[in-house]
Amino acid sequence: MKMIMFNIHDLILFAVLATCALLAALTLNKTTPCHRSRHMLVAFFAMNSLIAIDTLFFWGEGVKPVVFSVSPWLTTIFSVAVFAFGPILFGLIRYELYGRHTVNWSFALHFMPALLTPLYLYWVCHRFPLDIQRELILNLNIYSTPDSYFAVFTSLKKLVPAIYGFMCLHLAFKAYSAFTPTTAASAANTSPLKTAITTRSEVIFLLYLTAGFTAIRLFVLLTHWSGLHFSSAISDAMGIAGNYLTLALLLGLVWLSLKFNVTNDKPAISTEKSDADEAQKLRELKHVIEQFIESEKPFLNSQLSLHRFAQHLGLPERQVSLAINKGFQKNFQEYINDLRVQEAMRLLRSPADHDKTVTEVATLSGFNSKASFNRLFKKYTEQTPTAFRAQI
């Protein structure tokens, strides 16, 4: 990228930006109810856009002086995206495979290199006067400045995403090898995998994305290594080739995304077979819900919502709501209230709990107020809790 401003190779980077924007738009337009997954994928494409900007602003001989005149920070700050690229991809893959067992506070530690990057850049470059910054950035003297370790920093920019890529590739192949059309619906019962993935097209898209970007980051790492051991002409040519390969990969993702959106991953089988498959999936999901209710009794939590319930199952809200509506002939709130009333009836019948007041029974059953408990209990049993206990 050491050529005059806006040559053909620069335009390739602009094409990468445009393609990432298109993929983000297609991702947001997906019909899947898994919002967190979509937002993580959009963030991933955004990071790839910023990596292209980082390449253009720091290595473009014609672009860099113009950008520097606006703000010296613009030539370096997008390095943050290089360190955020890997954790976002890793978080996306883990969420797609393991659902709720993914994103927590400890996962934020993966972003520490990205968060520390601006502090490092300030210390080695941007705390100095403008004339010194110009020498460091425009003349690349930052590489030879004592105690800056900018060459090490650059090596880490190439190495860290590649390591994350291999970690993600391992998980993606694990999902692909475990996924078959006949076991996709029952995966939630048999394995912690695929709690967010429901179709074969999602697995294929995930595997292509992971394998493709891992290969790109490996090629970038190889380019950096060649620059350290061979002539700059070779590494420059490889760097330019890497931009073309990135664009080719992104265009492939666009094709896959459009293909799967149009086909909606529906196989060419008879309507009867499709209906039978849907009925089987519904029965299996209903069984998963019943097992979870029996083992965990989440309805005893008065703050339980459909969102939290679906998170505990590691499934999209819409899928859980549909399974309850069709499987139990009730909406989510009716289903939970029914379970709470049944628990209250059990406590009111129990001699061991005879000393508990009606208010205590309501609280232990998951109701957040005595008034709502009395109203719903009478609706389901046609008796007040007090009258029910007296009858027993």
DSSP calls for 203-267: HHHHHHHHHHHHHHHHHHHHHHHHHHHS-HHHHHHHHHHHHHHHHHHHHHHHHHHHHHHHHTT--
What's the CA gap between 161 and 81, in Å, rounded?
Answer: 10
Residue 385 has pLDDT above 50, yes or no: yes
What's the CA gap between 306 and 65, in Å, rounded?
Answer: 54
C-alpha 298 chain-centroid distance:
25
Instruction: Identify the DSSP state of 266.
Output: -
CATH classification number, 8-263, choose in 1.20.1070, 1.10.150, 1.10.10, 1.10.3470:
1.20.1070
What's the CA gap between 286 and 81, in Å, rounded?
Answer: 42
Residue 298: φ, ψ to 5°: -65, -20
Residue 362: φ, ψ to 5°: -60, -45
**End-to-end C-alpha distance for the chain, whole angstroms:** 84
pLDDT at residue 267, as a whole number? 44
What's the CA gap between 330 and 280, in Å, rounded?
Answer: 19
Q: What is the CB-side half-sphere exposure of residue 106 using CA atoms within 13 A? A: 2
What's the CA gap between 241 and 257, in Å, rounded?
Answer: 24
- Answer with the residue of higher pLDDT: 211 or 269: 211
pLDDT at residue 245, as a whole number? 93
Q: What is the CB-side half-sphere exposure of residue 150 using CA atoms within 13 A? A: 17
The CATH number given to 271-391 is 1.10.10.60
Confidence band for 99, pLDDT divided at 50, 70 and 90:
low
Instruction: Identify the DSSP state of 124.
Output: I
Q: Domain limits of the chain?
A: 8-263, 271-391
CA dihedral 246, 248, 249, 253 (to 10 degrees): 130
DSSP string, 267-326: -S--HHHHHHHHHHHHHHHHHHHHHHHHHH-GGG-TT--HHHHHHHHTS-HHHHHHHHHH
Question: Residue type at 42?
Answer: V
Q: What is the pLDDT of residues 22-39, one digit of tens each?
A: 998 888 876 554 566 788
Q: Kindly state the percentage of the chain with pLDDT values over 90.
A: 37
What's the CA gap between 190 and 281, in Å, rounded?
Answer: 14
Q: What is the pLDDT of residues 257-313, one digit of tens each?
A: 887 665 444 444 444 445 677 778 888 888 889 888 988 899 999 889 888 888 888
For residue 10, the surrounding DSSP H or E stretch is helix 8-28
pLDDT at residue 95, as a whole number? 77
Q: Which residues contact 43 (CB under 8 A, 6 or more apart)?
A: 88
Residue 133 has pLDDT above 90, yes or no: yes
* Mean pLDDT for the stretch of residues 328-348: 90
What's the CA gap between 96 and 93, in Å, rounded?
Answer: 5
C-alpha 157 chain-centroid distance:
22
| Average pLDDT of the residues of the chain | 82
Confidence band for 380, pLDDT divided at 50, 70 and 90:
confident
Residue 230 has pLDDT above 60, yes or no: yes
* Mean pLDDT for the stretch of residues 216-238: 87
CA dihedral 210, 214, 216, 220 (to 10 degrees): 160
| pTM higher than 0.85 | no
* Contact between 289 and 322 (Cβ < 8 Å): no
